[in-house]
Amino acid sequence: MCIILTTDCAQSAKEIMHTPPHAALDHVPVVDIAPFLHGTPAQRQAVAGEVDRINREIGFLVVTGHGLDLALLDRWFEVSREFFAAPAEVKQAVLAAPGTHHGYHAMAASGLAAKEGETAPPDLREYFMVGHLDGERLATTPSAARFHRANRWPSQPAGFAAVAPAYYRAMEALGATLMRLFAMALGLPEHWFDDKIDRHFSVLSTIHYPAQKVEPLPGQLRAGAHTDYGSLTILAPSDAPGGLQVRSLTGEWMDVPYLRDGFVINIGDMMQRWTNDRWRSNFHRVVNPPPGSPLRPRQSIAYFLHPNDDAQIACIPTCVGRDGPLFEPIQAGDYMWEKEHAIAAAQPVAA
Shortest-Cβ-distance residue relative to Fe ion: 228
Min dist CB 174 to ligand AKG, Å, is 17
CB of 102 to ligand AKG, least distance (A): 16
Told to check if 123 binds Fe ion by CB under 5 A, we report no
Compute and round to an integer the Cα radius of gyration of the chain. 20
Within residues 199-238, the interface with Fe ion by CB under 5 A covers 228
Q: Which lies closer to ligand AKG via its Cβ, residue 271 or residue 302?
A: 302
Choose among 49, 161, 118: nearest CA to 346.
118
Between 227 and 308, whose beta carbon lies closer to ligand AKG? 227
Q: Which does 286 bind (CB under 5 to 8 A by kind): Fe ion, ligand AKG, none?
A: ligand AKG
CB nearer to Fe ion: give 57 or 228: 228
Counting every residue written for the chain, the total comes to 351
Q: How far is CA 114 from the centre of its chain?
A: 18
- Residue 300 interface partner, choices Fe ion, ligand AKG, none, CB cut-off 5-8 Å depending on type: ligand AKG
Among residues 192 and 201, whose Cβ is nearest to ligand AKG?
201
User: Least distance to ligand AKG from the beta carbon of 157, Å?
Assistant: 21
For Cα atoms 192, 203, 137, give the angle at the middle one, nearest 5 degrees: 80
Q: Where are the alpha helices (DSSP H) in the chain?
A: 7-18, 34-38, 41-57, 70-84, 88-92, 135-138, 142-145, 160-185, 269-274, 332-346
- Residues contributing to the site for ligand AKG (CB under 6 A): 207, 223, 228, 235, 237, 244, 284, 286, 300, 302
Which are the contacts of 74, defined by CB distance < 8 A and separation ≥ 6? none
What pairs with residue 200 in β-bridges? 308
We find the least distance from the C-beta atom of residue 1 to ligand AKG, in angstroms, to be 31
Alpha carbon distance 184, 277 (integer Å): 17
User: If contact means CB under 5 to 8 A according to the sort of partner, which of Fe ion, ligand AKG, none does residue 244 touch?
Assistant: ligand AKG
Q: How far is the CB of 113 from ligand AKG (least distance, A)?
A: 11
Nearer to ligand AKG, 168 or 192 (CB): 168
| Residue closer to ligand AKG (CB basis): 189 or 297 | 297
Would you tell me how many other CB atoms lie within 10 Å of the CB of residue 314?
16
Question: What's the min distance (Å) between Cβ of 344 and ligand AKG?
Answer: 16
The secondary structure of 233-295 as a DSSP string is EEEE----SS-EEEE-TTS-EEEPPP-TT-EEEEE-HHHHHHTTTSS----EEEPPPPTTS--
By beta-carbon proximity to ligand AKG, the closer residue of 144 and 286 is: 286
Nearest to 164 by CA among 191, 204, 124, 223: 204
Residue 235 CB, shortest distance to ligand AKG, in Å, is 6
What does 238 bind: Fe ion, ligand AKG, none (CB cut-off 5 to 8 Å by kind)? none
CA angle 48, 278, 147 (to 5 degrees): 90
Residue 172 interacting with Fe ion (CB under 5 A): no
Please give the Cα distance from 290 to 93 (Å, whole number): 34
Positions in 253-312 near Fe ion (CB under 5 A): none
Cβ proximity to ligand AKG: between 47 and 223 the closer is 223
The closest residue (CB) to ligand AKG is: 300
Least separation in angstroms between CB 301 and ligand AKG: 8
Cβ neighbours, 10 Å, residue 6:
10
| Terminal alpha carbon distance of the chain | 49
- Where does this chain bind Fe ion (CB under 5 A)? 228
